[in-house]
């Protein structure tokens, strides 16, 4: 199996607990599940509908504030932004609007608004989206196309521990809609391929890169 990200031949291992053939790329550190586990959008929606993301919930605001604290420290204040894959709630884009940033939100299931196909942005944020993508490289490239030169892409997805042993006991892989897993190295490889600069990460789940 070729790596979804860098095309390098990936190692295969079997995840006994999930009963899923899984692949690990030594080159870019990407881990991904077999295509047979990929679900259609309708099946994914029934799972996402269970997510209890209430915008009134102080905990949910605090969760996004932690993301924005990391990202805006690295990026400054952008003029405009897109929340790509926002889910049912538009809370993150509303929090950016509160800070004076013009912000669109897009989600293929809940907010299929198409402004982002014509707009260009200083910042695109995408939280807990990339681990769901069947073709993360294609989406990465499509998002770069929506950025202004010098614009930033900020992604939140849990980084795996870099070892197959660590992966086998990792809670994050258990969600059946989570199919592809990254480390900062994976995004450094994507940056190299698409001519971006890797700006930084928090060592855990948030990274920022810049389109040059």
For Zn ion, the closer of residues 10 and 147 by Cβ is 10
In this structure, which long-range contacts are made by residues 34-38, counting pairs with CB atoms below 8 Å and at least 24 apart in sequence?
Answer: 35/134, 37/176, 37/179, 38/134, 38/179
For Zn ion, the closer of residues 28 and 101 by Cβ is 28
For Zn ion, the closer of residues 5 and 81 by Cβ is 5
CB 30 to Zn ion: min, Å: 5
What residue ranges bind Zn ion (CB under 5 A)?
3, 5-6, 8, 25, 27-28, 30
For Zn ion, the closer of residues 148 and 162 by Cβ is 162
CB 8 to Zn ion: min, Å: 5
CB 189 to Zn ion: min, Å: 6
Q: How far is residue 206's CA from residue 131's CA, in Å, rounded to a whole number?
A: 13
C-alpha dist (Å) from residue 138 to 130, 142, 190, 194: 11, 6, 11, 11
Q: For the chain, give the longest Cα–Cα distance.
A: 49
For Zn ion, the closer of residues 3 and 96 by Cβ is 3
CB 28 to Zn ion: min, Å: 3
CB 137 to Zn ion: min, Å: 10
């Amino acid at each position: 199996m070729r790596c979804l990200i860098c095309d390098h031949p990936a190692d295969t291992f079997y995840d006994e607990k999930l009963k899923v053939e899984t692949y690990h790329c030594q080159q870019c550190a990407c881990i991904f599940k077999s295509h047979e586990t990929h679900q259609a959008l309708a099946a994914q929606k029934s799972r996402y509908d269970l997510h209890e993301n209430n915008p009134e919930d102080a905990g949910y605001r605090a969760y996004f504030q932690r993301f924005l604290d990391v990202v805006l420290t690295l990026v400054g204040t952008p003029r405009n932004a897109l929340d790509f894959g926002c889910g049912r709630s538009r809370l993150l884009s509303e929090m950016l609007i509160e800070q004076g940033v013009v912000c669109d939100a897009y989600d293929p299931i809940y907010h299929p608004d198409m402004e982002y196909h014509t707009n260009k942005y200083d910042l695109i944020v995408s939280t807990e989206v990339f681990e769901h993508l069947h073709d993360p490289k294609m989406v990465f490239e499509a998002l770069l196309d929506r950025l202004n030169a010098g614009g930033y892409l900020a992604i939140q997805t849990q980084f795996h521990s870099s070892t197959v042993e660590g992966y086998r006991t990792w809670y994050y892989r258990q969600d059946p809609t989570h199919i592809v897993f990254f480390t900062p190295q994976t995004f450094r490889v994507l940056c190299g391929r698409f001519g971006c600069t890797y700006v930084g990460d928090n060592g855990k789940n948030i990274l920022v890169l810049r389109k040059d």
